[in-house]
Structure 1
Amino acid sequence: MNDDLPPDLPRLEAIETYLQLSLDRVRAKIEAVRRREAERAVGEQNRPPVPDWMVEVGLNRDALPVAVHAGDCHMAGKRVRGVDADTARRALAEGVEACSHCRPDVELGFVEG
């Protein structure tokens, strides 16, 4: 038998204490990760649905729309609001720029792509 543990009681008790503290830390970390994953799952369930279309507006609150995006466009800025397809088409007809990445003008049948 390959016994690499010390033969005396004080050192064995010190090792036991160290291992117990390590196990407590691992269990606390596991609990924290489980809690974080549960909170994330609840947050994803409560997240509002992605709109089909978005209109991006300028900097001030009375600014005119500056771009139309598909609802899942990664290029849309932070100043967007969800709109329906008719509102998006109307914005494009009024000269609002279509995003060159998601091409809502093609998807909405406004132009042929």
Structure 2
Amino acid sequence: MGDDLPPDLGRLRVLETWAAHYLTRIRARIAAVERQQAQRQPPAPMAAPPSRSAAGPGRARTPDWGLAEAGIGVPITEIHRGDCWARGRSLVAVSAERARAELAGGAQPCAVCRPDRVLNPQ
């Protein structure tokens, strides 16, 4: 273990709580910046038929494809269908073209929803 950490359990638990709180703030900021960037980019044409939108007014439409970037808890970038139950909370909506490019670049297809079968039919 590192010498920069306190030796007692109490202070270690305080640091753990602080780190979890700070990670939540960082993820919220990342999501806000991604939303800002998505608003600046023109929408890409869709290759697949659009998925059903979420019920109720004011709810965001479910994306057709999504990207779960590698990071804490996600060892490698994964591509998901927008309605995949295994997508996690930090799915970034992407076009079918970007999803294909990510798969070609080494991203893993989700083992549950198998987007590679639709995006790259053999």
TM-score by length of 2: 0.49
Higher helix share: 1
Matched, 1:57 2:69: yes
Contact 1:55 1:69 in 2 (8 A): yes
Per-residue deviation at 1:77?
1.2
Residue 92 of structure 1 is matched in structure 2 by 103
What is the aligned counterpart of 2:77 among 59, 66, 72?
66
- What runs of 5+ residues in structure 2 fail to find an aligned partner? 1-54
- From the superposition, tell whether residues 65 and 84 of structure 1 become closer, same or farther in structure 2 (CA, over 3 Å): farther
Residue 103 of structure 1 is matched in structure 2 by 114
Q: What's the secondary structure of 1:77's corresponding residue?
A: coil
Per-residue deviation at 1:78?
1.3
Matched to 1:92, the amino acid is L
- From the superposition, tell whether residues 71 and 93 of structure 1 become closer, same or farther in structure 2 (CA, over 3 Å): same
In the alignment, the residues of structure 2 paired with residue 74 and residue 90 of structure 1 have an alpha-carbon distance, to the nearest angstrom, of 23
- What runs of 5+ residues in structure 1 fail to find an aligned partner? 1-42
> Share of identical aligned residues, percent?
33
In the alignment, the residues of structure 1 paired with residue 56 and residue 66 of structure 2 have an alpha-carbon distance, to the nearest angstrom, of 20
- From the superposition, tell whether residues 101 and 66 of structure 1 become closer, same or farther in structure 2 (CA, over 3 Å): same
Higher strand share: 1
Paired residues, what number?
Answer: 67
Residue 79 of structure 1 is matched in structure 2 by 90
Q: Deviations over 1:16-46 (max 9, x none)?
A: xxxxxxxxxxxxxxxxxxxxxxxxxxx8211
Matches within 5 A, 1:25-40: none
Larger Rg: 1
Residue 46 of structure 1 is matched in structure 2 by 58
Moved over 6 A (4+): none
